[in-house]
Structure 1
């Protein structure tokens, strides 16, 4: 069973031990970099997926200007720098994390109605994963320093349908 947890300094050793294959580093940032950026940005939050007291996946969430570049929805949040520690790849942790994310958002960011993410057009495994987890291609494309990025969106369905 996994748990999504907000970063606290007590997780720093886990962050420093996190490993990414070099081929994956071309598509995402290391958690150490993301945690530092979050310290300097009050609208950026680091989230860890913990399983059996081990850090298995990591991502950042951003609100405000960072997400408004990709949507007109003022209640959207940007999922960024999503990765799985190379020691835990292929065990389903990425999918479990993404499927748990709406519940985490409901608790910690209750006004959020949409999740936005960017994925490199060449990162086919990630595209397949995001689609399997309910993300849809908006057809918007962004040229970035790491190549062309596709903008994906997942609506928080329970909120759109009138639930709370």
Structure 2
């Protein structure tokens, strides 16, 4: 996983999402632009064999506090896999690696929050398989009803095994 830098712009512009997936998420080009205008939003890329395979944004601060009282939570947004790489396990690998990325780059984070459209059954199944739990909170969004999911971070205890 790598934080977005302008050197990845060509990868971002070449990223492809099927139209059916675009109804549930934003394109990376849109997310990168939003991050330029928001100091609490960060774009993250998963690169495999020099190809951008998954993309998502992370938000801290006010954007996440709408969904949790945990001031050490982070919001996972606009998670997607390039349509050329779907079905190869990249999404699951990225989500399973996310806690390690957060420990390195956001060491105070204790919880990951995400919203998933109630109609996006493949994504719901993926998030559940990666340890996310339904909080039962529902949000009416511009793309329909959203379920709020949470995954607690498990930090190593210093001096422990």
* TM-score normalised by length of structure 1: 0.95
Distance of 2:147 and 2:12 partners within structure 1 = 27
Residue by residue, what CA displacement relative to the aligned partner does 1:27-64 show, whole Å, maximum 9, x if unpaired? 00000000000000000000000001100000000000
Q: Which runs of 5+ in 2 are unaligned?
A: none
- CA change 1:157–1:21 in 2 (3 A) is same
- Report the secondary structure of 2:88's partner residue: coil
Cα 1:151–1:163 shift into 2, 3 Å: farther
Distance 2:144 2:158 in 1: 36
Which 4+ stretches in 1 moved above 3 angstroms? Answer: 159-164
Label 1:160 to 1:131 Cα distance change in 2 as closer, same or farther (>3 A). Answer: farther
Q: Gaps (5+ residues) in structure 1?
A: none
Per the alignment, in what secondary structure is the counterpart of residue 66 of structure 1?
Answer: helix
Q: Deviations over 1:119-148 (max 9, x none)?
A: 000000000000000000000000001000
Supply the RMSD in Å over aligned alpha carbons. Answer: 1.7
| CA spacing shift, 1:31–1:52, aligned 2, 3 Å | same
Aligned residues between the structures:
161
